[in-house]
């Protein structure tokens, strides 16, 4: 029992000056200064985008790289290049980034929702069979909140049935999934450079492919005389130094997550969604935590504001699509219990804190302990 009051009840904050975005990197400043000095920042094509695409190809070991304005557009373009059209079914996890759901609808196709693997709350590799049997022409596979989908199993099943795969690696650039770079398993892989991502230019994305004929189709879909929804030269300038340092930053974040996992082990009702990190290098845009309200003593609705009062950058996960979207807009083969569980109990810790020192990580754990020790009072105040 910790007698110190949580901040939600008037105590001191555990983490009064948490890290914020963007993370200031001198290498980014020097790259911007160089682009200012040579005026390349104002050019249609000064070579920065081409250099970035080459660097992505080298680091991700992908022979075909096409930058674009966002990861969401990358998913939509990839589906279109796979031949998805109005009336087609496209499989995706029922707990998923909503932009992927809307990308399917943008083509007039319909999402077929797939349940999660209870082991790590990623798309279930076994439920892929159901999507294939339902007639899905493609499936979107995302790696979410530091977890990894079982790409070996998914690719074996989809390849046998000639179902296209778009691998959404927007949350885990630089991760290694079962021996291959995230984003290089599928027919297409997609990266995001959005404003809060691990590598960011405020906006932007990239499409990866190992298949030249599909890469060419995607390229042609983004041409309207000039490139449609292009990444700018100035965006490429700030992305390149971040990409060069991504591996080192991911190692630091990985070490922090291992430290957090050890410390959180002693708190009843909170655990990481990915229980083992033995398979490859993980990347953490958001760290997924599984809440058991009965064991912890608070439901998520109470817990989040109490933790935020401590200065911790923590939020709920996505709203499950079968809960938040009209039933007329999707199909499924039946109940989606694990997605419903994630909808109610997923917590996500934002990544900047993972680059901090051990005392910052200890402060997060201490915040959980304070809130749990005073759960009854927190609940009473929240619902009063």
**Kindly report the CA angle at 192 between 148 and 68, in degrees rounded to 5?**
135
List, for residues 125-146, the tens digit of each pLDDT value: 999 999 999 999 999 999 999 9
Assess if residue 86 is contained within a domain: yes
Q: Domain tally for the chain?
A: 2
Residues 148-156 have a mean pLDDT of 96
Residues 199-212 have a mean pLDDT of 97
List, for residues 254-313, the tens digit of each pLDDT value: 999 999 999 999 999 999 998 777 667 899 999 999 999 999 999 999 999 999 999 999
Residues 167-191 have a mean pLDDT of 97
Q: How confident is the model at residue 207 (pLDDT cuts 50, 70, 90)?
A: very high
Task: For residue 257, give both structure tokens.
Answer: 């997550």
- Same domain? For 195 and 133 the reply is yes
- Same domain? For 325 and 221 the reply is no
Pairwise CA distance, residues 249 & 282, whole Å = 11
- Same domain? For 133 and 204 the reply is yes
- Of 244, 270, 295, the one marking the end of a domain is 244
Residues 212-238 have a mean pLDDT of 94
- Same domain? For 152 and 73 the reply is yes
List, for residues 99-122, the tens digit of each pLDDT value: 999 999 999 999 999 999 999 999
- Of 208, 224, 244, the one marking the end of a domain is 244
Task: For residue 365, give both structure tokens.
Answer: 């754990």
- Same domain? For 259 and 144 the reply is no
Using the predicted structure, report yes or no on whether residue 21 has a pLDDT greater than 80. no
- Same domain? For 90 and 185 the reply is yes
Taking phi over 0 as left and psi of -120 to 50 as alpha, with beta for the rest, 168 belongs to beta
Q: Look up the domain containing 134 and give its range.
A: 26-244
Pairwise CA distance, residues 98 & 168, whole Å = 13
Pairwise CA distance, residues 218 & 344, whole Å = 37
- Same domain? For 42 and 174 the reply is yes
pTM value?
0.95
Give me the CATH number covering residue 340.
Answer: 3.90.1150.10
Q: How confident is the model at residue 19 (pLDDT cuts 50, 70, 90)?
A: low
- Same domain? For 331 and 366 the reply is yes
Assess if residue 199 is contained within a domain: yes
- Same domain? For 199 and 60 the reply is yes
- Same domain? For 200 and 316 the reply is no
**Per-chain mean pLDDT for the chain:** 95
- Of 244, 277, 307, the one marking the end of a domain is 244
Q: State residue 23's pLDDT score.
A: 72
Q: State residue 1's pLDDT score.
A: 66
Give me the CATH number covering residue 51.
Answer: 3.40.640.10
Asked whether 90 and 113 are in contact (CB, 8 A), the reply is no
- Same domain? For 139 and 192 the reply is yes
Assess if residue 21 is contained within a domain: no
Nearest to 247 by CA among 190, 194, 175, 196: 175
DSSP secondary structure code for residue 116 in this structure:
B
Assess if residue 7 is contained within a domain: no
List, for residues 364-384, the tens digit of each pLDDT value: 999 999 999 999 999 999 998
The secondary element (H helix, E strand) that includes residue 382 is helix 375-383
Assess if residue 98 is contained within a domain: yes
- Same domain? For 362 and 253 the reply is yes
């Amino acid at each position: 029992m910790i007698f110190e009051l949580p901040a939600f009840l008037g105590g001191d904050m555990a983490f009064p000056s948490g890290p914020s975005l963007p993370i200031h990197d001198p290498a980014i400043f020097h790259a911007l200064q160089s682009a200012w000095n040579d005026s390349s920042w104002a050019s249609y094509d000064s070579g920065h985008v081409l250099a970035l695409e080459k660097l992505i190809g080298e680091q991700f070991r992908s022979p075909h790289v096409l930058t674009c304005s966002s990861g969401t557009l990358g998913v939509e373009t990839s589906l279109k290049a796979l031949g998805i059209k109005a009336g087609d079914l496209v499989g995706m996890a029922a707990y998923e980034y909503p932009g992927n759901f809307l990308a399917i609808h943008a083509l007039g196709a319909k999402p077929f929702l797939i349940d999660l693997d209870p082991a790590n709350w990623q798309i279930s590799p076994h439920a892929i069979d159901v999507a294939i049997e339902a007639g899905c022409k493609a499936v979107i596979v995302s790696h979410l909140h530091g977890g990894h989908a079982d790409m070996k199993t998914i690719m074996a099943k989809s390849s046998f049935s000639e179902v296209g795969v778009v691998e959404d690696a927007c949350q885990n650039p630089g991760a290694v999934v079962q021996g291959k770079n995230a984003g290089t398993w599928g027919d297409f892989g997609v990266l995001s450079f959005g404003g809060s991502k691990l590598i960011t230019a405020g906006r932007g994305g990239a499409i990866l492919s190992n298949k030249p004929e599909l890469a060419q189709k995607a390229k042609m879909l983004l041409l309207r005389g000039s490139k449609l929804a292009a990444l700018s030269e100035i965006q490429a300038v700030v992305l390149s130094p971040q990409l060069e340092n991504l591996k080192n930053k991911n190692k630091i974040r990985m070490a922090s997550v291992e430290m957090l996992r050890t410390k959180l082990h002693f708190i009843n009702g909170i655990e990481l969604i990915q229980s083992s990190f033995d398979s490859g290098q993980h990347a953490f845009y958001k760290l997924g935590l599984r809440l058991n309200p009965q064991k912890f003593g608070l439901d998520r609705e109470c817990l989040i504001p109490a933790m935020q009062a401590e200065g911790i950058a923590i939020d709920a996960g996505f709203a499950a699509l079968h809960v938040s979207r009209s039933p007329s807009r999707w199909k499924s083969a039946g109940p989606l219990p694990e997605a419903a569980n994630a909808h109610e109990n997923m917590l996500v810790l934002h990544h900047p804190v993972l680059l901090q020192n051990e005392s910052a990580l200890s402060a997060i754990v201490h915040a959980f302990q304070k809130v749990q020790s005073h759960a009854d009072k927190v609940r009473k105040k929240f619902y009063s």
